[in-house]
Structure 1
C-alpha cells in the first residue's frame, strides 16, 4: 500500500471504542490489520502520521465517505469540480457522482453486481474483451481474472483519479492484462479495427447522461468491432418505475437487432440484455 492508509467510519469507531489497535487499512481488500498506537489524544499510523482524536471522531460520524492517510495528512477520497465525486465505503467501494452511485448497492454489493454482468458473457482464457465504460474498473479486473485481455475506456479523468486511489482498482494499473484508454467510448470505438473483440461489456451511464451510448449508430460500431460468434452484455439498469425500464429495455433490444445482433434477450439478475454476432456462414 506504500504509505497510503484508508479509514472509514467503521475503522474510526473501532479506534474510538476499543483498546484494540489492530485495524484494517485497505478498505477490506485483504484481511490484514495494521497496528495503530495511541498517545493521549493522537493516533499514530504506521507511517508515523499523527491524527488527532477530533479528526477520527469526525470520520466516525461520516458514513458516506472514504478517507486516507498519506504523507502526514488526512484526506477525503473526493474530487470537487464541475461535479462532485467521492468514493463511498461500500465493500468494495463505489463512486458517487453528484449523489448518484455508479454501482447497485441495495441488496447486492458492487462485486456481486460486477460478477452478474461478467457472468452474462463469460469471458474465457485468451479472449479479448472491450469494457466500454471503466468506472472503478471492477468489470475489467473480473474479466482479466478469467484469463481475458481487456481494453477499457473511461471518459472522465476524475473517475480515473479515484480509481488510482482505490485499492480495489489497483489491478487496472499493475496487472499487465488491462489497457486503460482515457477517452469518449463513442469516439474511441470508431478507431478499433473490424472484428477485434470476442466479448463486449457495455455498462454506460444512465440514458439521460449518455444517450448516444444507447443509439443504433453506436450499436452498429459495437457490432462492427465484435468478432463473428462474439458476445455482448449491455447493462440497462433500473431507471425509475417498472414501465419506464421495460420501455428503455425494449428500445435497446430493438436497436441492437437493427444493428445486426442476434439472440437478443434479457438477463434479469444483471439488469441488462445479452446479444451476439452470428457466426460466418461457411
Structure 2
C-alpha cells in the first residue's frame, strides 16, 4: 500500500493557523517524523502532491472524533455497512463500532490498556500465543514485541480493513511473527491441536454482541488448546457494572472453573480474569 498521510482536527487546526509552510506529523503520532505542507492559494499541498481545499480542512477541524487520510484525495477512515465503523483519534487510535469504542479510553489510553492485558499472561521469548479477537491488533503486536509468536483471529472484514489503514497496526502485516486468521474464534479454535499454545489472550466483544465467546463450551476449547500450565487472560469489562443484574465477571469465573481452569482470579487493572491450565490433571486451586 502507498504511504498514507493522516489528518485529525488537531493537524487541521494547525494548518488553518499557518500563514505559509508548516511541518506536521502525518502518521497519528506513531513516529516523530514530520512533513512540510505548502499553501497553494486557498488550498494545501501534501507530500504526494494532493491538493486539499481550505473548506475541506475546515470541515476536518470541526470533526474532533474522526481520522482522515490522504491518498489522491481526502477520505474519512470509516466504513458504513450493516454497522458503522471508524477510527477514533485517541493515541493510539481505537476503533468505534456503532458508537461503541473497542478499547478503554477513559483514564487510560489504548496502548496502556493493551499492556495491562498482555502483562496478565506475560508472554516470553519463543512462546506461542493465541489472540482470539484481533481488532486493531495492538495485543498481538505487544505480545510479538516480547518475543512470542502470535496467531490472531478476526471475524470482521471491516475491522481488518481499518487495521490495514491504521499506522499503529502496521506491524501486524510486516513483523513476521504474527499470523492472522480470518474467522469466528469459536470455530477457528476447534482446528488447533491440543496443547498448541503457551498463553491465550481472550478479549471478546461485549457479551450482548458475542455471548458464545463467554460460554463454557468455548472455554473448554481454550482449555484444550493450551499446554499444561498454560495461562489465560479474559477481558470482561468494568467489574463494577452488572449485565442484566448479573455479575458478568463472577459468571465467567464460574464457567472457567467448570471448564477445568485453576488459579482463576480477577485482575482489576486489566478489567478481566486470569486462569491457568493445571500442570497435571490432579492440580487443584
Q: Same-fold call, TM > 0.5?
A: yes
Q: Deviations over 1:240-281 (max 9, x none)?
A: 835868710000000000000000000000000000011137
Provide the residue aligned with 1:111 in structure 2. Answer: 111
Whole-angstrom distance in 2 between the partners of 1:94 and 1:245:
29
Query: Residues 88-107 of structure 1 correspond to what in structure 2 (within 5 A)?
Result: 88-107=88-107
Provide the residue aligned with 1:8 in structure 2. Answer: 8
Q: Deviations over 1:141-198 (max 9, x none)?
A: 0000000000000000000000000000000011110000010000000010000000
Whole-angstrom distance in 2 between the partners of 1:11 and 1:35:
12
Contact 1:239 1:245 in 2 (8 A): no
Whole-angstrom distance in 2 between the partners of 1:241 and 1:151:
31
Contact 1:85 1:96 in 2 (8 A): yes
Contact 1:237 1:245 in 2 (8 A): no
Whole-angstrom distance in 1 between the partners of 2:135 and 2:44:
33
The residue matched to 1:194 in structure 2 has which SS? Answer: coil
Provide the residue aligned with 1:36 in structure 2. Answer: 37
Whole-angstrom distance in 1 between the partners of 2:8 and 2:62:
9
After TM superposition, give the deviation of residue 40 of structure 1 in Å: 1.3
The residue matched to 1:130 in structure 2 has which SS? Answer: strand
Whole-angstrom distance in 1 between the partners of 2:34 and 2:178:
29
- Which runs of no fewer than 5 residues in structure 2 stay unpaired? none
After TM superposition, give the deviation of residue 212 of structure 1 in Å: 0.4
Provide the residue aligned with 2:164 in structure 1. Answer: 164
- CA distance 1:245–1:204, change in 2 (3 Å): farther
- Which runs of no fewer than 5 residues in structure 1 stay unpaired? none
Provide the residue aligned with 1:80 in structure 2. Answer: 80
The residue matched to 2:163 in structure 1 has which SS? Answer: helix
Contact 1:131 1:152 in 2 (8 A): yes
Contact 1:5 1:69 in 2 (8 A): yes
Contact 2:241 2:247 in 1 (8 A): no
Whole-angstrom distance in 1 between the partners of 2:231 and 2:191:
20
TM-score normalised per structure 1: 0.96
Contact 1:144 1:150 in 2 (8 A): yes
- CA distance 1:74–1:174, change in 2 (3 Å): same
After TM superposition, give the deviation of residue 44 of structure 1 in Å: 0.2
After TM superposition, give the deviation of residue 3 of structure 1 in Å: 3.2
The residue matched to 2:104 in structure 1 has which SS? Answer: coil
Q: Does 1:61 align with 2:62?
A: yes
Whole-angstrom distance in 2 between the partners of 1:184 and 1:281:
29
Q: Deviations over 1:55-95 (max 9, x none)?
A: 0000000001100000x210000000000000000000000
Provide the residue aligned with 1:194 in structure 2. Answer: 194
TM-score normalised per structure 2: 0.95
Question: Number of matched residues?
Answer: 281
